[in-house]
A and B are shown apart, each in its own frame.
Chain A
Amino acid sequence: SAVISQKPSRDICQRGTSLTIQCQVDSQVTMMFWYRQQPGQSLTLIATANQGSEATYESGFVIDKFPISRPNLTFSTLTVSNMSPEDSSIYLCSVGQGISYEQYFGPGTRLTVT
């Protein structure tokens, strides 16, 4: 399985600001995903990060709020823009090769918006 790191591990931000979360993988992967997990809840997929093209967003998530970049097969960023307290969550990136649907997750970023 791939080794995945995320930066930052946690942050406290003021409303109205933006935070960029980085996801780095130690090997090339086909698929990269971004999830949000609100306290005590399951994972909600935000988008699939596509290398060299625009991300594919799930219903309820828009590019203006959650811009995503994926410049190569080992790295992606998720920006949470114009934050509000409702954006306080854990943000997780995951990777997969697509064939078996198996995904491996990064350690997550705990975001608190005040």
Chain B
Amino acid sequence: AQTVTQSQPEMSVQEAETVTLSCTYDTSESDYYLFWYKQPPSRQMILVIRQEAYKQQNATENRFSVNFQKAAKSFSLKISDSQLGDAAMYFCAYGGQETSGSRLTFGEGTQLTVNP
């Protein structure tokens, strides 16, 4: 079964600085999808970025980018020029054929604090 591990329960960053959130996963598949979701205090889960495993190029969305290391099964999220609005819980998620029914497997989350 797939597992997703976020080893950093909490992280903090100064406003305008860069922070990297870690995620590792376990799978025997070669084709799958990885996601980062953001959940601010409003509790709305927001899709931040998506990576398809067959694509070698790392995904980017404005200030958010990923470092996808397929062999190492690592999928970290980099937030550049951090803003106060980036403060939230961040969840890494995996979706693949082994996860039947198009379900996602979520990590335990990393609580990000942005200090002014």
Contact = CB atoms under 8 A, between A and B. Distances in A.
Interface residues of B, number: 24
A105 B45 contact: yes
Given A102-B50, A107-B44, A45 B109 contact: no
B30 interface: no
B47 A101 contact: no
A62 B72 CA distance: 37
A88 interface: no
Contacts, number: 57
A31 B108 contact: no
B44 A105 contact: yes
A78 B107 CA distance: 24
Interface residues of A, number: 24
A98 B103 contact: no
B35 interface: yes
Interface stretch (A13-21, A65-73, A89-97): A89-97
For the complex, would chain A's binding face be called helix, strand, loop or mixed by DSSP majority? strand
A37 to B, nearest CB: 8
A43 B45 CA distance: 10
A96 B102 contact: yes
A41 B108 contact: yes
A101 B45 contact: no
Interface string A14-48: 00000000000000000101000100011101001
Closest 5 CB pairs of A and B: A101-B95, A105-B45, A98-B102, A101-B33, A108-B43
Interface of B: 32-33, 35, 37, 42-47, 50, 52, 91, 95-96, 99, 101-104, 106-109
